């Protein structure tokens, strides 16, 4: 196996970890295991009757729910496997390549360790929204860095021949807007505000509903011992949902313009069409989420498409680099 193959495997696994993390969060299984890194004191989730009874006795404050626990533990298993692959990428690069080539894999190792800490705090701090959102962004950062690493080890991923239609700052702005929108989506999910607005495009039949942005975006508010199912009032959740919708409008308008620029360059045309297709799919999924009360498969796919949009933007960023960039 070549280094690039392992790097792309890591990209695929990171994507799976991100999507499965969304599935865990959306199915309210974030506290399916009340401890970390095990589950009710074991490396596997309780499934048999005697295991469930033992778990309930050891953790009386949290009744065992096997249908939630397995989701959380599978997510941890995959995240652990990803950590081992990233460590392998670092060791491989350190041993066989020049002294600069292992810097990115080493950085990835630190990111993965911090991401594991965020996973632990998600459980120990009982789904604190700031930690939950940070955990999501950490997963997206891991996916982005691994994508860049895989591109840098793939000979065919050369910089495109500059034709004036797309400049790197255009891609950087698009990437930043997308990251902000993903963060807003994470904050919406972490605060259980996805269904704060019924209907689309109006919110609960109003174009300007009652909103409390101060409380909705108070990152330093004390949330109590357990944040499962959220603690914010309706106006605060509506403010979060409406901010996410406003972000959707901004990102959509910018990406439509960016796609137009991309399709004018033959080399970047495939990525432009990919971006357009993912954007259209994401818009449709978002509308379905609101109008059909957040069906789990659709909501999970919504997170997955966001990750794919991010990967596409990272590919564009790599393609629009200067030829001398590493």
Give, as one character, the DSSP assignment of residue 266: T
Report how far residue 188's alpha carbon sits from residue 216's, in angstroms, rounded to the nearest whole number: 10
Which SS3 state, helix, strand or coil, does residue 256 take?
A: helix
φ and ψ at 222, to 5 degrees?
Answer: -75, 125
Q: What are phi and psi of 19, to 5 degrees?
A: -65, -40
Active-site position among 72, 215, 228, 267: 72
Nearest CA-CA partner of 185 in 21, 323, 3, 15? 21
The C-alpha atoms of residue 93 and residue 114 are separated, in whole angstroms, by: 21
- Cβ(271)–Cβ(313) below 8 Å: no
DSSP helix/strand/coil, 69: helix
Count CA atoms closer than 13 A to 72's CA, side-chain side: 28
CA dist 139 and 112 (Å) reads 9
Catalytic site includes residue 72: yes
Query: Could you give the residue numbers annotated as active site?
Result: 72
């Amino acid at each position: 196996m070549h280094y690039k193959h392992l790097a792309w495997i890591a990209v695929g696994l990171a994507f799976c970890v991100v999507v499965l993390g969304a599935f865990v969060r959306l199915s309210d299984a974030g506290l399916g295991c009340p401890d970390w890194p095990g589950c009710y004191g074991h490396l596997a989730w309780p499934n048999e009757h005697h295991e469930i009874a033992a778990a309930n006795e050891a953790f009386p404050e949290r009744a065992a729910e096997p249908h939630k626990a397995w989701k959380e533990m599978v997510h941890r298993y995959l995240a652990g496997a990803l950590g081992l692959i990233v460590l392998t990428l670092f060791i491989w690069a350190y041993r066989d390549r020049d002294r600069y080539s292992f810097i990115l894999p080493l950085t990835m190792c630190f990111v993965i360790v911090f991401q594991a800490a965020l996973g632990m705090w998600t459980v120990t701090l009982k789904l604190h929204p700031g930690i939950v959102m940070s955990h999501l962004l950490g997963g997206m950062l891991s996916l982005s860095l691994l994508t860049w690493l895989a591109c840098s080890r793939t000979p065919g991923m050369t910089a495109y021949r500059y034709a004036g239609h797309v400049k790197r700052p255009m891609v950087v702005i698009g990437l930043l807007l997308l990251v902000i929108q993903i963060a807003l989506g994470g904050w919406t999910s972490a605060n259980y505000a996805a269904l704060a607005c019924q209907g689309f495009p109006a919110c609960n039949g109003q174009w300007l509903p009652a909103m409390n942005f101060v409380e909705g975006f108070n990152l330093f508010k004390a949330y109590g011992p357990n944040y499962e199912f959220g603690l914010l009032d309706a106006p605060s959740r509506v403010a979060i949902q409406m901010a996410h919708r406003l972000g959707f409008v901004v990102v959509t308008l910018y990406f439509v313009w960016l796609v137009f620029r991309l399709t004018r360059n033959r080399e970047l045309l495939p990525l432009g069409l990919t971006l357009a297709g993912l954007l259209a799919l994401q818009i449709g999924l978002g509308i379905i989420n609101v109008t059909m009360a957040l069906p789990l498969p659709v909501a999970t796919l919504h997170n997955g498409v966001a990750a794919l949009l991010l990967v596409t933007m990272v590919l564009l960023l790599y393609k629009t680099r200067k030829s001398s960039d590493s």
